Chain A
Amino acid sequence: EIVLTQSPGTLSLSPGERATLSCRASQSLSSNYLAWYQQKPGQAPRLLIYGASSRATGIPDRFSGSGSGTDFTLTISRLEPEDFAVYYCQQYGSSLRTFGQGTKVEIK
Protein backbone atom coordinates (compact mmCIF):
# COMPACT_ATOMS: atom_id res chain seq x y z
CA GLU A 1 0.00 0.00 0.00
CA ILE A 2 1.28 3.46 -0.92
CA VAL A 3 0.96 5.77 2.09
CA LEU A 4 0.48 9.47 1.40
CA THR A 5 1.51 11.86 4.17
CA GLN A 6 0.21 15.42 3.97
CA SER A 7 1.69 18.38 5.78
CA PRO A 8 0.95 20.51 7.59
CA GLY A 9 -2.19 19.16 9.23
CA THR A 10 -3.61 22.66 9.50
CA LEU A 11 -2.57 25.84 7.73
CA SER A 12 -3.76 29.15 9.20
CA LEU A 13 -3.61 31.94 6.65
CA SER A 14 -5.35 35.18 5.70
CA PRO A 15 -7.19 35.87 2.43
CA GLY A 16 -4.74 37.01 -0.21
CA GLU A 17 -1.87 34.96 1.19
CA ARG A 18 -0.15 32.07 -0.58
CA ALA A 19 -0.82 28.51 0.57
CA THR A 20 1.64 25.68 0.04
CA LEU A 21 0.46 22.15 0.82
CA SER A 22 2.71 19.10 0.72
CA CYS A 23 2.01 15.45 -0.07
CA ARG A 24 4.74 12.84 0.29
CA ALA A 25 4.34 9.29 -1.00
CA SER A 26 5.93 6.23 0.63
CA GLN A 27 7.12 5.10 -2.82
CA SER A 28 7.53 6.69 -6.19
CA LEU A 29 4.25 7.22 -8.07
CA SER A 30 4.10 5.83 -11.58
CA SER A 31 3.49 8.46 -14.24
CA ASN A 32 2.75 11.05 -11.54
CA TYR A 33 -0.71 9.63 -10.95
CA LEU A 34 -1.43 12.11 -8.19
CA ALA A 35 -4.61 14.16 -7.72
CA TRP A 36 -5.70 16.90 -5.35
CA TYR A 37 -9.25 17.40 -4.09
CA GLN A 38 -10.95 20.17 -2.15
CA GLN A 39 -13.71 19.40 0.32
CA LYS A 40 -15.88 21.96 2.07
CA PRO A 41 -18.10 21.09 5.06
CA GLY A 42 -21.21 19.21 4.02
CA GLN A 43 -20.06 18.86 0.42
CA ALA A 44 -18.59 16.14 -1.73
CA PRO A 45 -14.92 16.44 -2.69
CA ARG A 46 -14.08 18.36 -5.85
CA LEU A 47 -11.25 17.44 -8.21
CA LEU A 48 -8.72 20.27 -8.51
CA ILE A 49 -5.56 18.74 -10.01
CA TYR A 50 -4.78 15.45 -11.77
CA GLY A 51 -1.58 14.05 -13.19
CA ALA A 52 0.21 16.05 -10.47
CA SER A 53 -0.06 19.34 -12.39
CA SER A 54 -3.08 19.46 -14.71
CA ARG A 55 -6.01 21.58 -13.57
CA ALA A 56 -9.44 20.01 -13.81
CA THR A 57 -12.18 21.70 -15.80
CA GLY A 58 -13.33 24.99 -14.30
CA ILE A 59 -10.59 25.21 -11.68
CA PRO A 60 -9.17 28.74 -11.30
CA ASP A 61 -5.54 29.24 -12.26
CA ARG A 62 -4.62 30.33 -8.72
CA PHE A 63 -4.51 26.57 -8.02
CA SER A 64 -1.40 24.81 -9.26
CA GLY A 65 0.17 21.43 -8.69
CA SER A 66 3.77 20.37 -9.00
CA GLY A 67 6.14 17.58 -8.10
CA SER A 68 7.15 14.12 -9.17
CA GLY A 69 8.29 10.81 -7.75
CA THR A 70 7.46 10.98 -4.06
CA ASP A 71 7.07 14.71 -3.37
CA PHE A 72 4.14 16.78 -4.54
CA THR A 73 2.85 20.26 -3.81
CA LEU A 74 -0.46 22.07 -4.19
CA THR A 75 -0.10 25.85 -4.28
CA ILE A 76 -2.89 28.37 -4.00
CA SER A 77 -1.32 31.62 -5.14
CA ARG A 78 -3.73 34.03 -3.44
CA LEU A 79 -6.35 32.66 -1.09
CA GLU A 80 -9.92 33.65 -1.76
CA PRO A 81 -12.58 33.34 0.98
CA GLU A 82 -14.05 30.28 -0.76
CA ASP A 83 -10.69 28.44 -0.68
CA PHE A 84 -10.79 27.76 3.05
CA ALA A 85 -11.46 24.04 3.14
CA VAL A 86 -9.81 20.65 3.56
CA TYR A 87 -7.50 19.42 0.79
CA TYR A 88 -6.66 15.79 0.07
CA CYS A 89 -4.05 14.29 -2.18
CA GLN A 90 -4.71 10.89 -3.74
CA GLN A 91 -2.67 8.45 -5.80
CA TYR A 92 -4.32 6.36 -8.48
CA GLY A 93 -1.38 4.50 -10.00
CA SER A 94 -1.45 1.40 -7.83
CA SER A 95 -4.18 -1.22 -7.63
CA LEU A 96 -5.02 0.09 -4.15
CA ARG A 97 -5.80 3.79 -4.53
CA THR A 98 -5.07 5.77 -1.39
CA PHE A 99 -5.73 9.25 -0.01
CA GLY A 100 -3.64 11.42 2.25
CA GLN A 101 -5.10 12.35 5.62
CA GLY A 102 -5.90 15.90 4.53
CA THR A 103 -4.71 19.45 5.20
CA LYS A 104 -7.17 21.96 6.60
CA VAL A 105 -6.70 25.51 5.36
CA GLU A 106 -8.33 27.80 7.88
CA ILE A 107 -8.76 31.53 8.21
CA LYS A 108 -6.19 33.13 10.49
Chain B
Amino acid sequence: EVQLVQSGAEVKKPGESLKISCKGSGYSFSRYWIVWVRQMPGKGLEWMGIIYPGDSDARYSPSFQGHVTISAGTSTSTAYLQWNSLQASDTAMYYCARTLSTWDHDAFEIWGQGTMVTVSS
Protein backbone atom coordinates (compact mmCIF):
# COMPACT_ATOMS: atom_id res chain seq x y z
CA GLU B 1 0.00 0.00 0.00
CA VAL B 2 1.28 3.43 -0.94
CA GLN B 3 1.17 5.71 2.06
CA LEU B 4 2.68 8.70 3.80
CA VAL B 5 2.88 8.66 7.59
CA GLN B 6 3.58 11.90 9.39
CA SER B 7 5.07 12.50 12.82
CA GLY B 8 2.87 13.31 15.79
CA ALA B 9 1.43 16.54 17.11
CA GLU B 10 3.80 19.13 18.56
CA VAL B 11 3.38 21.89 21.13
CA LYS B 12 6.16 24.49 21.09
CA LYS B 13 6.94 27.96 22.41
CA PRO B 14 7.63 30.98 20.19
CA GLY B 15 11.25 31.10 19.13
CA GLU B 16 11.78 27.35 19.41
CA SER B 17 12.87 25.17 16.51
CA LEU B 18 10.98 22.21 15.10
CA LYS B 19 11.35 19.52 12.45
CA ILE B 20 8.39 17.37 11.44
CA SER B 21 8.54 14.33 9.22
CA CYS B 22 6.68 12.48 6.50
CA LYS B 23 7.68 8.86 5.79
CA GLY B 24 6.77 7.27 2.50
CA SER B 25 6.27 3.57 1.86
CA GLY B 26 4.98 1.26 -0.82
CA TYR B 27 6.60 3.11 -3.72
CA SER B 28 9.94 4.41 -4.97
CA PHE B 29 10.30 7.40 -2.63
CA SER B 30 13.12 9.07 -4.53
CA ARG B 31 11.16 9.35 -7.78
CA TYR B 32 8.04 11.24 -6.72
CA TRP B 33 7.77 14.84 -5.61
CA ILE B 34 6.60 15.61 -2.08
CA VAL B 35 4.72 18.79 -1.23
CA TRP B 36 3.89 20.46 2.06
CA VAL B 37 0.54 22.14 2.61
CA ARG B 38 -0.52 24.32 5.53
CA GLN B 39 -4.03 24.57 6.91
CA MET B 40 -4.54 27.12 9.65
CA PRO B 41 -7.42 26.49 12.07
CA GLY B 42 -10.74 26.81 10.28
CA LYS B 43 -9.07 27.97 7.08
CA GLY B 44 -8.22 26.68 3.62
CA LEU B 45 -5.22 24.96 2.09
CA GLU B 46 -1.95 26.75 1.30
CA TRP B 47 0.89 25.31 -0.81
CA MET B 48 4.20 25.81 0.97
CA GLY B 49 6.73 24.13 -1.26
CA ILE B 50 7.83 21.00 -3.04
CA ILE B 51 10.88 18.72 -3.07
CA TYR B 52 12.23 15.99 -5.31
CA PRO B 53 13.82 13.47 -2.93
CA GLY B 54 16.04 12.06 -5.65
CA ASP B 55 18.26 15.16 -5.73
CA SER B 56 16.74 17.33 -2.96
CA ASP B 57 15.65 19.99 -5.48
CA ALA B 58 13.35 22.14 -3.34
CA ARG B 59 11.14 25.05 -4.36
CA TYR B 60 9.18 27.33 -2.09
CA SER B 61 6.14 29.54 -2.15
CA PRO B 62 7.29 33.16 -1.67
CA SER B 63 4.99 33.27 1.36
CA PHE B 64 7.11 30.64 3.13
CA GLN B 65 10.57 31.14 1.59
CA GLY B 66 13.11 31.90 4.29
CA HIS B 67 10.85 30.84 7.14
CA VAL B 68 10.84 27.08 6.60
CA THR B 69 13.21 24.51 5.15
CA ILE B 70 12.08 21.46 3.21
CA SER B 71 14.44 18.50 3.00
CA ALA B 72 14.36 14.77 2.30
CA GLY B 73 16.41 11.65 2.88
CA THR B 74 16.21 8.80 0.42
CA SER B 75 17.85 6.27 2.75
CA THR B 76 14.99 6.76 5.22
CA SER B 77 12.27 7.56 2.64
CA THR B 78 11.39 10.59 4.73
CA ALA B 79 10.68 14.21 3.94
CA TYR B 80 10.99 16.98 6.49
CA LEU B 81 9.61 20.44 7.20
CA GLN B 82 11.72 22.53 9.55
CA TRP B 83 11.48 25.84 11.38
CA ASN B 84 14.39 27.57 13.14
CA SER B 85 12.23 30.04 15.04
CA LEU B 86 8.53 29.34 15.41
CA GLN B 87 5.91 32.05 15.69
CA ALA B 88 2.39 31.86 17.07
CA SER B 89 1.13 32.30 13.52
CA ASP B 90 2.72 28.95 12.60
CA THR B 91 -0.03 27.21 14.57
CA ALA B 92 -1.67 24.99 11.96
CA MET B 93 -2.14 21.51 10.57
CA TYR B 94 0.62 20.58 8.16
CA TYR B 95 0.11 17.96 5.48
CA CYS B 96 2.59 16.30 3.21
CA ALA B 97 1.42 14.84 -0.08
CA ARG B 98 2.88 12.98 -3.04
CA THR B 99 2.38 13.89 -6.66
CA LEU B 100 0.26 11.69 -8.89
CA SER B 101 3.17 11.09 -11.29
CA THR B 102 6.92 11.57 -11.19
CA TRP B 103 6.50 15.03 -12.68
CA ASP B 104 6.45 18.05 -10.37
CA HIS B 105 3.53 19.74 -12.17
CA ASP B 106 0.93 17.24 -11.12
CA ALA B 107 -1.93 16.86 -8.68
CA PHE B 108 -1.41 15.62 -5.13
CA GLU B 109 -2.60 12.03 -4.98
CA ILE B 110 -1.36 10.52 -1.70
CA TRP B 111 -1.71 12.53 1.51
CA GLY B 112 -0.28 12.08 4.98
CA GLN B 113 -2.61 12.20 7.95
CA GLY B 114 -1.37 15.63 8.99
CA THR B 115 0.74 16.98 11.85
CA MET B 116 -0.79 19.56 14.16
CA VAL B 117 1.70 22.18 15.32
CA THR B 118 0.69 24.46 18.18
CA VAL B 119 2.90 27.42 19.08
CA SER B 120 1.97 29.12 22.31
CA SER B 121 3.74 30.81 25.17
Contacts and interface: CB of A to CB of B under 8 A. Distances in A.
Contact of A50 (B47, B50, B59, B106): B106
Nearest to B112: A44
Nearest to A97: B47
Contact of B108 (A35, A98, A100): A35
B114 A99 contact: no
Interface in A59-107: 88, 90, 92-93, 95-102
B112 A96 contact: no
B44 A95 contact: no
Contact of B109 (A56, A93, A97, A101): A56
Contacts of B95: 44-45
B45 A96 contact: no
A36 to B, nearest CB: 9
Interface size class on chain B is 20 to 34
- Chain B interface SS verdict (over half): strand
A88 B95 CA distance: 15
A88 to B, nearest CB: 6
B107 A101 contact: no
B46 interface: yes
Contacts, number: 61
A99 B45 contact: yes
Interface size class on chain A is 20 to 34
Contacts of B29: none
B9 interface: no
18 contacts: A35-B107, A44-B114, A47-B100, A47-B107, A50-B107, A50-B109, A56-B100, A57-B109, A88-B44, A90-B45, A92-B105, A92-B107, A92-B108, A96-B61, A96-B62, A97-B47, A98-B47, A99-B45
Given A37-B45, A57-B109, 10 more contacts: A37-B108, A44-B97, A45-B111, A50-B100, A92-B106, A92-B108, A93-B105, A96-B61, A99-B46, A102-B44
